[in-house]
């Protein structure tokens, strides 16, 4: 990629669902592309796609729990274009599209250093589930896990407009636990059941 190339991010790109599926499957494998597409088909999630000229080089999938909470569900950049700032462009674009959100969340695994660095470099603070449980209690952590579909991950990354981001997160998620349950059922649980039945 030379300096003259321009990266264009297109949002709410449901017409690119095939591209999104191909990129996520190619980079992360089938179950991930399946869950990502199911989240969009459920009506909850929306998408951004980064293009370099006409080539799609990265995708982001996110959803809201009311306008206040925005969850980055998948951020994926194709291998040849990693380490060039595309991930940061995708996350920042999602933040820009969700200016009304006061809390942004993402989850990842401890050994996913690229993902951890990506979010940390944009001001996200990471917590282990155990640490969160000590701070806000098991029931609230369960709601945060549901809200993020982050059961298979070790870390949750939080960016909030308040200094006391954990109390804000706990309060927001607990207050919206009915919506959280719906999101979890549609994005996480039902697709999991359907996958098992095949
Ligand atoms: C995680 C991922 C999206 C990052 O995308 P990217 O375009 O390479 O990230 P960027 O170039 O914007 O880099 C963002 C930060 O992460 C750092 N980084 C990128 N790749 C890294 C790596 N392999 N190891 C450590 N740090 C890394 C960059 O140096 C940068 O940090 P800085 O701003 O402090 O210098 C990409 O690696 C990817 O698609 N991974 C597979 C899918 C995945 O695991 N997604 C996350 C969970 S859904």
In a domain, 69, yes or no: yes
In a domain, 48, yes or no: no
Q: Give the pLDDT band (50/70/90) at residue 198.
A: confident
* Stretch 60-81: mean pLDDT: 97
Strand 45-52 and strand 7-11: the pairing is antiparallel
Instruction: Tally DSSP H helices, then E strands, for the chain.
Output: 9, 7
Spatial distance between the Cα atoms of 36 and 74, rounded to a whole number of angstroms: 7
Q: Containing domain of residue 125, as a range?
A: 61-197
Q: Which residues line ligand 1 (CB under 6 A)?
A: 27-28, 74-77, 82-88, 108, 112-115, 117-118, 121
Of all residues in the chain, the percent with pLDDT exceeding 70 is: 98
* Stretch 119-132: mean pLDDT: 97
Spatial distance between the Cα atoms of 60 and 8, rounded to a whole number of angstroms: 13
Q: Which atom of ligand 1 is nearest to the CA of 91?
A: 12
pLDDT reported for residue 6: 81
Considering only CA atoms, which residue is closest to atom 4 of ligand 1?
A: 87
In a domain, 52, yes or no: no
Angle, CA 192 vertex, CA 92 and CA 145 arms, to 5°:
50
Closest to 141 measured CA to CA, from 192, 180, 108: 180
In a domain, 157, yes or no: yes
Q: Given a cut of 90, is residue 197 above it in pLDDT? A: no
pTM of the complete model beyond 0.85? yes
Both tokens assigned to 19:
């591209």
Query: Which residue out of 87, 89, 150 has the highest number of ligand 1 atoms within 8 Å of its CB and is therefore the one to mutate?
Result: 87
Give the count of domains, the chain.
1
In a domain, 49, yes or no: no
Query: Which residue out of 82, 108, 149 has the highest number of ligand 1 atoms within 8 Å of its CB and is therefore the one to mutate?
Result: 82
Q: Which atom of ligand 1 is nearest to the CA of 74?
A: 48
Considering only CA atoms, which residue is closest to atom 44 of ligand 1?
A: 115
pLDDT digits (tens, 9 = 90+) for 78-87: 999 999 999 9
In a domain, 158, yes or no: yes
Q: Give the pLDDT band (50/70/90) at residue 158.
A: very high
Q: Which atom of ligand 1 is nearest to the CA of 32?
A: 48
pLDDT reported for residue 80: 96
In a domain, 153, yes or no: yes
Using an 8 Å Cβ cutoff, are 91 and 75 in contact? yes
Per DSSP, 102 falls in state S
Considering only CA atoms, which residue is closest to atom 30 of ligand 1?
A: 118
What's the CATH code of the domain at 98?
Answer: 3.40.630.30
Of all residues in the chain, the percent with pLDDT exceeding 90 is: 86
In a domain, 187, yes or no: yes
């Amino acid at each position: 990629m030379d300096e003259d190339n321009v990266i264009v991010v297109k949002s709410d790109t449901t017409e690119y669902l095939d591209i999104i599926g191909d990129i996520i499957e190619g980079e992360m494998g089938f179950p991930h592309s399946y869950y990502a597409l199911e989240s969009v088909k459920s009506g909850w999630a929306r998408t951004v796609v980064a293009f370099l000229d006409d080539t799609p080089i990265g995708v982001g999938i996110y959803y809201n729990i009311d306008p206040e909470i925005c969850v980055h569900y998948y951020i994926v950049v194709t291998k040849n274009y990693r380490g060039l700032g595309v991930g940061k462009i995708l996350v920042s674009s999602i933040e820009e599209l969700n200016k009304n959100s006061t809390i942004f969340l993402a989850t990842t695994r401890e050994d996913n250093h690229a993902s951890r660095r990506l979010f940390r470099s944009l001001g996200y603070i990471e917590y282990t589930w155990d640490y969160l449980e000590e701070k806000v209690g098991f029931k609230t952590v369960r709601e945060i896990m549901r809200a993020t579909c982050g059961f298979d991950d070790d870390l949750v990354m939080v960016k909030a407009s308040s200094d006391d981001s954990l109390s804000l997160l706990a309060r927001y998620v607990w207050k919206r636990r009915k919506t959280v349950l719906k999101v979890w059922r549609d994005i996480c649980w039902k697709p999991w059941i359907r996958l098992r039945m095949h």
